[in-house]
A and B are shown apart, each in its own frame.
Chain A
């Protein structure tokens, strides 16, 4: 669009007839601000639609009636504006005086003191007393929920919290209630937040210009001028939100989002905003621990390092290097994963290194590499809100990636079509044009069915397919076996719906495909992924803004852990360990004459290896395998069998119980480093707090073990590790240096230090591997399907308020209060048939184990399904899940196993057996 410039004349407080220019389409306020002319505002917020309610940004415009608000009035060429005429200033002062008179604005008792916009405006307008006799009567504060305090007495009714909730986060939980001077901000039916649909993202707090909304746990921690703001990256999901840590004396007092920053554009979710304080938990590991007589005793680093080095040496000497295996942490920084895989390859001499991508997105890494040549999200989060068509499969985004979901909801609000494929009627389905409630594990049948329609109705992108892809004929032959009628039978989606969706997908270009673990956590995970890739190539959607195939990574640095080579088959940068060139490169770089060439074990095989005796020593870095892996009974037997188990963590957990030595590590916010988010963006993590006790950064622990085992590593900081090693060795990272990612991170591949990164991969259909490969795949059912004995399908996932096995969120004040226990989610009909009522205890049993949990009846779950998460130990879904794996990448089928449910008559019998 061509920019059209306009010229305005402004008469301000200390200047006359100043000519300023702006662009057509800008508001008067935007033009004034761009030209450095200050106009007071209160209800205005740049990322929200204009409100026009506070009447502080009013101006006088010649030949225009009244005092229009500059925030909402379009600037028009030739306008003559008076920003501070007597009339305007007088009205502004009256507004401020009225606000002061009808509220309880005592700065002495206010959390917002020093950052309050009203305070600043009152001061600037020279108001030194309230001229009206005030009749205001205070009302009590609402602090009935664990996280957010609302003080109506300080509320100026600017509506910023309401717009933050509706326009930014798309939740619409709060609105104005009452009338006239009795107006107030409230929820639907004036309930407390606890009884509303509030998801505690806290966007309202961030939007509040005064002290009406504050973080409960920040109360009394610091005054605005006492804190330093340090930018960092969130430690939770793979979106990689940019946040300000407000730090006083080395302690985080609260967290706010960085406005205008990629990828989150000023947004956070409940975990990001309120989940920071786990690092201050009393449960933290503060010193190395060595197992002795069935218990743990404190030890010095020297002793611990000696023990680790000696035991590894012994075992390697005895059983060879491949008797050692390790799992790197997908929640820690790139530099840590890089160091761990280096320790394993260069020091221990084995490729037995993996990370928890194995349990989630290994099929994406493998499958997309097969189809496109690169196994990462093709597009960017910034595409989400701009997309016109979104096809979301197996992604419960509002809970697992809440900030990403806000952009999808924004897109829908802007008119985009959203199709949600999920066996549950997840919250995102409420925003969808259609919810395709497929049967668990029938994804390929649906995708093949859609492609059948596209091909038979001649709706696919023939030019793109011919130009950019290979294997079309083979694909065609395969999908011809899946006419919509067959797809309908397998998926449960009616034929006309399949046809309709296929036609819509073909009608709006580009369509964006987004998926998550609903696709990958199946025995057919890789096939599911390549099937998604097939669909998007057939539609000609890969390589364009708002298109592509977009797996959203679950953990903050699971992308990075893979990028860094914490994989059994690849050095950093996905350079294969069996590739001679890569071998030569890394031998040279690491100063080794030999590096292992045989791809190592994947995580499930490592565990099995412990049991079988192939693996003797096991190094678990920042993972809680005893809760996260399928069939906990089995996993614990494996861990129990380890000859030597090293655990390196922030907290003792269910896995560290089996350890022979536990190494205490610095946590998020206690170290510098980088995370790579789901859209391949390398973001900075910054240190603000000291690690407790003698805990060390993980990379330093690896470095010191290497030293004990005879290798001196040159890099002495995360920055040196990145700038001098990683960026030099991983071609995708070669243009990324710490100096370049002080602000927004860069999205790899970044070819050189002048390249600004890659927001869209496979641009215009030019795939990393040359031509995109159609890989025909067949639908296969889950390994275990319901039968008479186990009539329900158990499917698992994540809940909004918790993360992983709750080692972090379980220690963040307030989050546990919102959800304090696991539940078995069932449909009211299915529960009713078993005589189970909401909140009653049930026993859920599979062939592998059983758990006891409260039944939570919700019509979001289909009949015949039980849905559970793995956050809580007692009722962890993984007591039940099936340890069967994708044959290519060994990702387990967390999404489907067969269970039975029964009501527990005697509640005292509750507990796991």
Chain B
């Protein structure tokens, strides 16, 4: 299994790889890209140095990023006006532009080489191996890294053999459920009928999760290749990529990839001389979280309102347009080519006994290096947070990690060493989910966190079943009451009971998992809930209704930081005097609390 290092070492000629994923694009990477080209041209280096754009490399917080090969020089937060300096200094004169290099979080030293950045070095990139290193809009680039070899190999095998290979790999669905992929294909393949469908679910909707987007943006052909292999194995002649309309770039690159793949006969009739014909069509979702639910997604593709239907019948029996249908997540499908090219044995060497391969996480929250990370399944949470993410910044303490987004739960510090796999996470009341990983520290209020996620699921509930439509609404109102200090311990018990009813009574996964963040935070942080209820106090000082917004003169160091931070001119302060907050002017924005390093505001 190649490590990220191998990929880089193969490159010998000089190239500048400009990340143009959505994150960097939002920071005007397209202008930077044009500027670098122009500067190279005016420096007469156009023939010697190639500038290519790539998909996401994961370290989005540092974007736009530019990687110079073969040296591996990694420039961060590059702006168009830096282009001239990079060309002049680095490419022409061989002097690295020091100020644009990555700064190590702990040592505060500049890291000249990409491979020495811990964020990258501590990962194991299988699915993301091409993301950030090839031009996603060029099929030749994909060919250059062995693209479509898996599909060609599969087409020389029988569908049953391909299926067997995927089964042996132990690959499990990366959308969150963890259902064995090979078994899922087998269910569909075993159904009678000529017409079957494969759907690639790119309706990633969890707040903070963007791995599917990054894969489609950075390596769309890999997903297509996975789909071709899947379609072949289960006997589907038509595939759909269901991608949310907000993912404009992913949509556009997937479209280009489909066109190029068709031009090269990787899609269409009799693919590469085989008997297998396969087409892929893109369907745009209107941005409903519930469409991640298989039956709702099918309804949406069919042109109906995205609402789930009871199962059975399962999509494998009666799915899209009433035909057997298999739905796989983007990341799952992106794993398939490598299983074919390198074999299931090689794949099973990564991961744990129960879960093979890697998992991509969207690391966010109170973490030094946020972004997209890929690690073997079973990697301890501590490794992800401390080694890859560089730990919790500002000398604060890790409090908990929220996995699985609005459907998941939290992992408290006492489980910091938990190996992250499906079963372990389930055991502690969370889920793997699609890979959202949000780190919290002591300034995060767990009630507020639960409220945030429940607010999301409440808004995204399709409204079909009563427990989800109204149960989450009621729960949200109860949580809000807690954050306002207007609840009671009796009502907390009512909340737990209602949460259990919503879990048990809801129609689809959205409602069945919506209470998880609430139940999980109550399980591990009940004291925090009780503080809100009994003492009318928010320990993290997040819930503004429970903050008095008074200066604690004992703690106040009279530094004036709060005075400077207050946007409402509600604080008066003079040198060597404690600050004072005028409550009639205070807008409870918490700027003072965030500015004060001495916990002097109650």
Which A residues lie at the B interface, using CB under 8 A?
A: 50-55, 58, 66-69, 72-74, 87, 90-91, 94-95, 98-99, 101-102, 131-133, 135, 156-157, 159, 175-176, 178-183
CA distance A132 to B490 in the complex (A): 12
Interface string of B453-472 (1 = CB under 8 A from A): 00000111111111101111
Stretch at the interface among B251-259, B501-509, B537-545: B501-509
Q: A91-B505, A94-B498, A157-B463 are in contact. Are A176 and B470 (CB under 8 A)?
A: no
Q: A67-B504, A95-B505, A181-B458 are in contact. Are A54 and B465 (CB under 8 A)?
A: yes
Residues in B whose Cβ lies below 8 Å from that of A99: 466, 470
Task: Find out whether the CB atom of B310 lies under 8 angstroms from the CB atom of A180.
Answer: no
- Top 3 nearest A-B pairs by Cβ distance? A183-B463, A52-B310, A72-B310
* B312 interface residue per 8 A CB criterion: yes
27 A-B pairs within 8 Å (CB atoms) are namely A52-B309, A52-B465, A52-B507, A53-B465, A55-B466, A55-B506, A67-B504, A73-B312, A91-B501, A95-B501, A99-B466, A101-B470, A102-B470, A132-B474, A156-B466, A157-B463, A159-B464, A175-B305, A179-B463, A180-B458, A180-B459, A180-B472, A180-B473, A181-B458, A181-B469, A181-B472, A183-B464
Q: Min CB distance, A661 to chain B, in Å?
A: 61
A133 to B494, CA, bound (A): 12
CA distance A157 to B460 in the complex (A): 16
**Residues of chain A lying within 8 A (CB to CB) of residue B307:** 176
Q: Which range contains the number of B residues in contact with the other chain?
A: 20 to 34
Cβ contact of B461, chosen from A51, A94, A159, A179, cutoff 8 A: A179
Minimum CB–CB distance from B448 to chain A (whole Å) comes to 20
**Alpha-carbon gap, A302 to B459, bound state (A):** 75
Chain A contacts of B512 at CB under 8 A?
66
**For the complex, what is the distance from the CA of A53 to the CA of B464, rounded to whole Å?**
5
Asked if B288 is an interface residue, CB under 8 A from chain A, the answer is: yes
For A68, list chain B residues within 8 Å (CB): 310
Contacts of A51 in B (CB 8 A): 464
Residues on A with C-beta less than 8 A from B460 are 179-180
Bound-state Cα–Cα, A524 to B208, Å = 73
> How far does the alpha carbon of A101 sit from the alpha carbon of B467 in the complex, in Å?
12
CB-based contact A98/B312 at 8 Å: no
With A95-B505, A180-B473 already in contact, the answer to whether A55 and B459 are too (CB < 8 A) is no
A465 to chain B, nearest CB (A): 35
Contact between chains at A90 and B463 (CB < 8 Å): no
The answer to whether A101 and B474 touch across the interface, beta carbons within 8 angstroms, is yes
In the complex, which of the residues A94, A131, A179 contacts B467, with contact meaning CB atoms closer than 8 Å? A94
A677→B463 CA distance, assembly (Å):
43
Residues of B with C-beta under 8 A to A181: 458, 461, 463, 469-470, 472-473
Known pairs A50-B310, A91-B504; A98 contacts B463 (CB<8 A): no
One digit per residue, 1 when the CB lies within 8 angstroms of any chain A CB and 0 when it does not, for chain B 257-288 equals 00000000000000000000000000000001
A657 to B288, CA, bound (A): 65
Out of B305, B462, B464, B505, name the residue touching A94 (CB < 8 Å). Answer: B505
Residue B477 CB within 8 A of the other chain: yes
CB distance from A673 to the nearest CB of B (A): 46
A183 and B463 alpha carbons, distance in the complex (Å): 5
Which A residue sits closest to B502, measured CB to CB? A94
Residues in A neighbouring B463, C-beta threshold 8 A: 157, 176, 178-183
Nearest A residue to B468 via CB reads A180
Residues of B within 8 A of A66 (CB): 504, 512
Chain B residues, Cβ within 8 Å of A73: 310, 312
CB contacts (< 8 Å) of B462 on chain A: these are: 176, 179-180, 183
In the complex, A180 Cα to B473 Cα: how many Å? Answer: 8
Chain B residues positioned under 8 Å from A179 (CB to CB):
288, 459-463
Q: A residues within 8 A CB of B312?
A: 73-74
Q: Tell me the nearest residue of chain A to B304, going by C-beta.
A: A175
In the complex the two chains form, is B466's CB within 8 Å of A54's CB? yes
List A contacts of B504 (CB < 8 A). Answer: 66-67, 87, 91
Residue on B nearest A156 in the bound complex, by CB: B466
Q: How far is the CA of A157 from the CA of B468 in the complex (A)?
A: 12
Q: Within 8 Å CB of A98, what residues of B? A: 466-467, 470-471, 474
Bound-state CA distance A179–B472 (Å) is: 12
Nearest-neighbour CB distance to chain A for B502, whole angstroms, equals: 8
**Residues of chain A within 8 A of B459, CB atoms compared:** 179-180
Q: Please, how many angstroms separate the alpha-carbon atoms of A181 and B505 in the complex?
A: 16
CA distance A411 to B471 in the complex (A): 39
Give the CA-CA distance A133 to B305 in the complex, in Å: 32
The contact string, 1 if C-beta is below 8 Å from chain A, for chain B 434-465, is: 00000000000000000000000011111111
- In B555-596, which residues have CB < 8 Å from any A CB? none
- CB contacts (< 8 Å) of B507 on chain A: these are 52-53, 55, 69
Question: 0/1 per residue, B309-353, Cβ < 8 Å to A?
Answer: 110100000000000000000000000000000000000000000
Residues from chain A with a CB closer than 8 A to the CB of B477 are: 133, 135
Q: Which residues of B contact A95 (CB under 8 A)?
A: 466-467, 501, 505
Q: How far is the CA of A94 from the CA of B312 in the complex (A)?
A: 25
Distance of A4 Cα from B458 Cα, bound (Å): 43
Chain A residues near B467 (CB-CB < 8 A): 55, 91, 94-95, 98
A94 & B471 in contact (Cβ 8 Å cutoff): yes
Report B-chain residues with C-beta under 8 Å of the C-beta of A55. Answer: 465-467, 505-507
Residues of A within 8 A of B471 (CB): 94, 98
* Nearest chain A residue, comparing its CB with the CB of B506: A55
Q: Kindly list chain A residues whose C-beta atoms are within 8 Å of the C-beta of B474.
A: 98, 101-102, 132
- A358 shortest CB reach to chain B, Å: 47
List residues of chain B with CB within 8 A of the CB of A67.
504-505
Contacts of A58 in B (CB 8 A): 505
Contacting residue for B305 out of A87, A176, A182, CB 8 A: A176
**Interfacial chain B residues near A53, Cβ < 8 Å:** 464-466, 507
Q: Which residues of B contact A178 (CB under 8 A)?
A: 463
Q: Give CA–CA (A178, B306) in the complex, Å.
A: 12
CA distance A356 to B140 in the complex (A): 78
| Closest Cβ neighbor of A74 among chain B residues | B312
Question: Max chain B CB contacts within 10 Å: which of A53, A87, A176, A183?
Answer: A53
Contact B473 A102 (CB under 8 A): yes
Question: Cβ of A176 and Cβ of B505 under 8 Å apart?
Answer: no
Q: How far is the CB of B83 from chain A (nearest CB, A)?
A: 45
Known: A53-B464, A176-B462, A180-B460. 8 other contacts (CB 8 A): A68-B310, A91-B501, A94-B498, A98-B471, A99-B470, A176-B463, A180-B458, A180-B469
Question: In the assembled complex, how far is the CB of residue A431 from the closest CB belonging to chain B, in whole angstroms?
Answer: 16
- Chain B residue contacts of A175, Cβ below 8 A: 305
A50 to B309, CA, bound (A): 9
Which residue from chain B places its CB closest to the CB of A55 in the assembled complex?
Answer: B505
Q: How far is the CA of A562 from the CA of B494 in the complex (A)?
A: 71
Give CA–CA (A395, B477) in the complex, Å. Answer: 56
Chain A min CB distance to B510 (Å):
10
Name the CB-closest residue of A to B459.
Answer: A180
In Å, the complex CA distance between A518 and B466 comes to: 49
- Min CB gap B44→A, angstroms: 57
Question: Please, what's the 1-or-0 string for B75-96, where 1 marks a CB less than 8 Å from any CB in chain A?
Answer: 0000000000000000000000
Question: How many angstroms between the C-alpha atoms of A52 and B469 in the bound complex?
Answer: 13
A186 to chain B, nearest CB (A): 11
Contacts of A72 in B (CB 8 A): 309-310
Which residues 206-262 of B have a CB within 8 angstroms of A? Answer: none
Distance, CA A53 to CA B309, complexed state (A): 9
Residue of B458, B463, B465 contacting most chain A CB atoms (<10 Å): B463
In the bound complex, what is the Cα–Cα distance between A131 and B512 (angstroms)? 22
- Chain A residues lying within 8 Å of B505, measured Cβ to Cβ, are 55, 58, 67, 91, 94-95
Across the two chains, which residue of chain A brings its CB closest to B466?
A: A95
A232 → B minimal CB distance (Å): 38
Among A94, A95, A131, max chain B CB count under 10 A is at A94
The answer for the CA separation of A176 and B469 in the assembled complex, in Å, is 13
How far is B460's CA from A55's CA once the two chains are assembled, in angstroms? 19
Q: Are B469 and A90 in contact (CB under 8 A)?
A: no
Chain B residue with Cβ nearest A135: B477
How far, in angstroms, from A59 to B119 measured CA to CA in the complex?
A: 50
Give the one of A90, A91, A159, A178 with max B CB within 10 A.
A91
